[in-house]
Amino acid sequence: MLKLVKKISFYVLLLQINLAMAAAPTFLLTHNQTDVESNAYIDGTIPSIYPTKPHSDSKVYWNMVRVACHGHTANNICTALIKMASNTPNPIDVGYVNLDLTTGEITPKVISNNGYTLTVNGPGETTLTKAIQSPKS
């Protein structure tokens, strides 16, 4: 009987670990290490109401991300265009990311475009940096 209880406990623990690994994050975290504001545009057109100020970190509840993506998903994937200098007349496109609303996975893992780089740190977490320009010889 003790062996049976141990086996059941072991399988329950494995199931909990698998569920925890596949669970969505609590927050969408953005670390903006640039001199300009950043924002995500759902489907490339609908701006988030939570831009990230320069040299700051933003934290948006993952459930709010799900609400913002409602009606703009396919297979639980929401696509967003990341823009820099989003509070100016001429925002700069960095590129599109896909957010898996179930797991928090963001792809692609790195985008570099127009002098900026977005790096995915883990589920639901990204860092934005300005590309370092090499001096011209």
The model's pLDDT over 9-61, given as tens digits with 9 standing for 90+, comes to 544 544 454 444 468 999 999 999 999 999 999 999 999 999 999 999 999 99
Bridging pattern class, strands 38-42 and 73-74? unpaired
pTM of the model: 0.80
Q: Which residue ranges make up each domain of the chain? A: 29-130
pLDDT for residue 15: 47
pLDDT for residue 4: 56
Instruction: Give CA–CA dist 127/86, Å, rounded.
Output: 16
Distance separating the N- and C-terminal Cα atoms of the chain: 77
pLDDT for residue 23: 87
Average pLDDT of the chain is: 88
Q: What angle do CA 87, 77, 46 make, to 5 degrees?
A: 25
Tell me the per-residue pLDDT of 75-100, one tens digit each, with 9 for 90 and over. 999 999 999 999 999 999 999 999 99
**Which one is predicted more confidently, 127 or 136?**
127
pLDDT for residue 132: 74
Look at residue 133 and tell me whether its pLDDT is greater than 90.
Answer: no
- Residue 124 pLDDT class (50, 70, 90 cuts): very high
Q: What angle do CA 32, 97, 80 make, to 5 degrees?
A: 85
